[in-house]
C-alpha cells in the first residue's frame, strides 16, 4: 500500500512538473510588467543593493512589499539574466503547491481525497497557465496553503513553531497580493473554533511575530518614509467611489 501511494504521488508531481516546465522558455509571458520586474531584479544583482518596495498594485496607486523581487532575483542570476529564470521559480512554487495540497489533505482527510485533489490541481489549465509566468501573485497559492496547513499542524500538535510558520507565510503572502488579507478572518475563525480560549493570545502573538519577520523589509520602508503606502491604501478603501452604479433619492 505504501509503495502504491508513493508511486501515485510521484507520478502526480512528475505530471505537474511536465505541464509547468515543458518548453517554458518558448511560451513564457513577457509584457511590460515583467520587463519592469526584470530591470529591478537585475539592478539588485548588479548593484548588490536590495530594494524595499515591490511592484505597484493593479489599482489605487500603492505598492506591494519587495518579497517577490527578493525571491526572483537569485533565479534571474542563476539563469544569467535570462527572464525565464523567475518564471522557473514560479513553476517550482506551482509544483510545490501540488505536493503541499496532497500532504495537507492526506493528513486531514486521507490518501484518496488527497491524491484526487492534487491530481486535479496538477493539470487544471488555468492553474498551469499562471504557474508558467513571472508575476507576483502567482506564488500566492503556495504561501496561502502553507499558512492554513501550518495552522492545522499547530492546532493538531500544540507546537508553537507552526503558528510562527503560519505568520511568516502570511507576511510573504500579503506582499504578493493584498487580497491575501482574506486569510486573516479565515485564520482567525480556524483558531477560534479549534483552540482553547486561554491559548488564543499566545497563538496570535507567535503568529504576529512570524509575520513581522517576513514583512519587516516593507514595514521598515514604511516607517522610514512616514507610511506612504499605508496612507494611500487607507485613502483608497475609505474614499467615495467615483464609478459604478449609484442611486439618487429624490
pLDDT in tens, 159-170: 999 999 999 999
**Residues 123, 132 contacting (CB under 8 angstroms):** no
pLDDT in tens, 8-64: 999 999 999 999 999 998 888 877 788 888 999 999 999 988 899 888 876 667 888
Q: Find the mean pLDDT for residues 236-243.
A: 63
**Residues 175, 55 contacting (CB under 8 angstroms):** no
Q: Pick 29 or 149 by higher pLDDT.
A: 149
pLDDT in tens, 203-237: 999 999 999 999 999 998 888 887 888 888 878 77
What are φ and ψ of residue 63, in 5° steps? -120, 155
**Residues 166, 147 contacting (CB under 8 angstroms):** yes
**Residues 79, 88 contacting (CB under 8 angstroms):** yes
Give the pLDDT confidence score for residue 181 in this predicted structure. Answer: 92
What are φ and ψ of residue 49, in 5° steps? -130, 110
Q: Where are the alpha helices (DSSP H) in the chain?
A: 2-21, 24-27, 32-47, 67-78, 84-108, 111-123, 125-130, 140-157, 160-176, 183-194, 200-224, 228-238
**Residues 145, 104 contacting (CB under 8 angstroms):** yes
**Residues 131, 167 contacting (CB under 8 angstroms):** no
In the block, cell 487607507 appears at 234
- Give the separation between CA 57 and CA 16, rounded to whole angstroms: 29
pLDDT greater than 80 at residue 244: no
Q: What pTM was computed for the model?
A: 0.89
Q: In the structure grid, which three cell numbers stand for residue 229, read together?
A: 503606502
Handedness of CA 153, 142, 56, 50 (dihedral sign): positive
- Give the separation between CA 54 and CA 67, rounded to whole angstroms: 7
In the block, cell 503568529 appears at 207
Give the pLDDT confidence score for residue 60 in this predicted structure. Answer: 63
Residue 135 makes CB contacts below 8 A (sequence gap 6+) with 29, 33, 34, 90
Q: Find the mean pLDDT for residues 229-250.
A: 63
pLDDT in tens, 78-99: 999 999 999 999 999 999 999 9
**Residues 51, 69 contacting (CB under 8 angstroms):** yes
pLDDT greater than 50 at residue 250: no
Amino acid at each position: 500500500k505504501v509503495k502504491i501511494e508513493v508511486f501515485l504521488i510521484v507520478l502526480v508531481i512528475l505530471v505537474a512538473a511536465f505541464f509547468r516546465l515543458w518548453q517554458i522558455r518558448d511560451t513564457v509571458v513577457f509584457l511590460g510588467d515583467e520587463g519592469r520586474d526584470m530591470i529591478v531584479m537585475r539592478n539588485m544583482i548588479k548593484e548588490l543593493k536590495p530594494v524595499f518596495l515591490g511592484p505597484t498594485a493593479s489599482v489605487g496607486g500603492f505598492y506591494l512589499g519587495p518579497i517577490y523581487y527578493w525571491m526572483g532575483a537569485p533565479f534571474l542570476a542563476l539563469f544569467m539574466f535570462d527572464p525565464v529564470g523567475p518564471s522557473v521559480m514560479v513553476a517550482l512554487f506551482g509544483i510545490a503547491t501540488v505536493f503541499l495540497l496532497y500532504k495537507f489533505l492526506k493528513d486531514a482527510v486521507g490518501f484518496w481525497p488527497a491524491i484526487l485533489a492534487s491530481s486535479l490541481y496538477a493539470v487544471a489549465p488555468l492553474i498551469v497557465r499562471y504557474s508558467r509566468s513571472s508575476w507576483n501573485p502567482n506564488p500566492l497559492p503556495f504561501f496561502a496553503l502553507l499558512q492554513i496547513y501550518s495552522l492545522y499542524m499547530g492546532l493538531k500538535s500544540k507546537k508553537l513553531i507552526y503558528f510562527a510558520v503560519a505568520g511568516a507565510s502570511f507576511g510573504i503572502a500579503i506582499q504578493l497580493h493584498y487580497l491575501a488579507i482574506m486569510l486573516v478572518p479565515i485564520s482567525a475563525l480556524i483558531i477560534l473554533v479549534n483552540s482553547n480560549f486561554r491559548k488564543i493570545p499566545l497563538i496570535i502573538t507567535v503568529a504576529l511575530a512570524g509575520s513581522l519577520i517576513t514583512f519587516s523589509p516593507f514595514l521598515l520602508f514604511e516607517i522610514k518614509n512616514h507610511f506612504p503606502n499605508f496612507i494611500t491604501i487607507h485613502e483608497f478603501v475609505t474614499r467615495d467611489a467615483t464609478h459604478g452604479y449609484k442611486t439618487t433619492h429624490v
